[in-house]
Amino acid sequence: MALHSVTLASQTDLPGFRREARALLAALVPPEEAHWDARASLELHSQLCDGQGGADEKPPGGVNPVLPRSFLSLCNLVILHHDPARFELLYRLLWRLVHEPGLYRDPHDEDRLRALHMARAVRRDMQKMKSQVRFRTLRHTADGEPLQIAWFAPEHYIVEAVAPFFMRRMAQAQWAVLTPECCVRGRGESLEFGAGLRCERRLDRDAAETLWLGCYHQVFDADCAPSPLRSDRDSEPARSSRPDSAP
């Protein structure tokens, strides 16, 4: 059995998944013959919030099946789950929706129930990040402006999805949230994402200001003095596309 290998640009590359899934559908590649993977990015990148994500690509070969909007919304959440098998699951559901029209009316389907469970886990993690992040004010910054900074350890790839919430909430401040997955800082309507951090020392609101600044500069200002942390990057965020057609 020949495998069709697909490597997505990042752990949250929904536009890439949509494009590749359409191509596989057009080629009549069944789920068991598709192998999905996602690469980790090694480059910092900054982008305006309004400019994140790519435009929807035209479906190859005219393949553009009409799918339930609930399934498209499900994809937006499941792709943020930490389970590496999520891509296979979503493509298998897509294939079955095309070839088994009654699938979405079966409340006991195992694939569908598994995807719903993953979506709920991601939604809980997003709400947890919004409600539990507590910022600390750093005043001895390089530019002299106060920096609101916080640490959070999400279970899933949710940082890029939650970042706009903090952008709106902290619209008048310079802020940053550091996580093991990836880090984000914002100012006004601008968001910048950077490497994740694996802490060797406890990083909480009571930690010394020098430790907080060291963490911040480790990610966003590489020329500054090194911090006592090891940098690790798990993903490159990608903003979800508008769910108005097939993945």
Residue 103 has a pLDDT of 83
H or E element, residue 151: strand 147-151
Torsion of the alpha carbons at 216, 221, 226 and 230, rounded to the nearest 10: 60
Q: How is the chain split into domains, by residue range?
A: 4-39+68-126, 132-232
**The residue type at 222:** A
Cα four-point dihedral sign 99, 88, 236, 113: positive
What letter would DSSP give residue 143?
Answer: T
Per-residue pLDDT of the chain (247 residues), as tens digits, is 558 999 999 999 999 999 999 999 999 999 999 999 998 754 434 333 333 444 444 444 555 677 888 899 999 999 999 999 999 999 999 999 999 878 878 889 999 999 999 999 999 999 999 999 999 999 877 777 899 999 999 999 999 999 999 999 999 999 999 999 899 999 889 999 998 987 656 676 667 888 888 888 888 875 544 433 333 333 344 333 333 445 6
pLDDT at 231: 36
Count of residues making up the chain:
247
Q: Could you give the C-alpha distances from 78 to 120, 217, 227, in angstroms and in order?
A: 9, 32, 34
The Cα 42–Cα 39 span in angstroms is 10
| Helix, strand counts (H, E) of the chain | 6, 10
CA pair distance 130, 133, nearest whole angstrom: 6
Contact 154, 178 (CB under 8 A): no
Rounded to whole angstroms, how far apart are CA atoms 179 and 197?
A: 6
The pLDDT value given to residue 88: 97
Q: What is the pLDDT of residue 50?
A: 38
Distance between CA atoms of 133 and 175, rounded to whole angstroms? 12
- Report the 10 Å Cβ neighbour count for 138: 18
The per-residue pLDDT for 87 is 98
Parallel, antiparallel, or unpaired: how do β-strands 190-194 and 45-48 relate? antiparallel
User: So what's the pLDDT on residue 139?
Assistant: 84
Task: Provide the pLDDT for residue 63.
Answer: 58
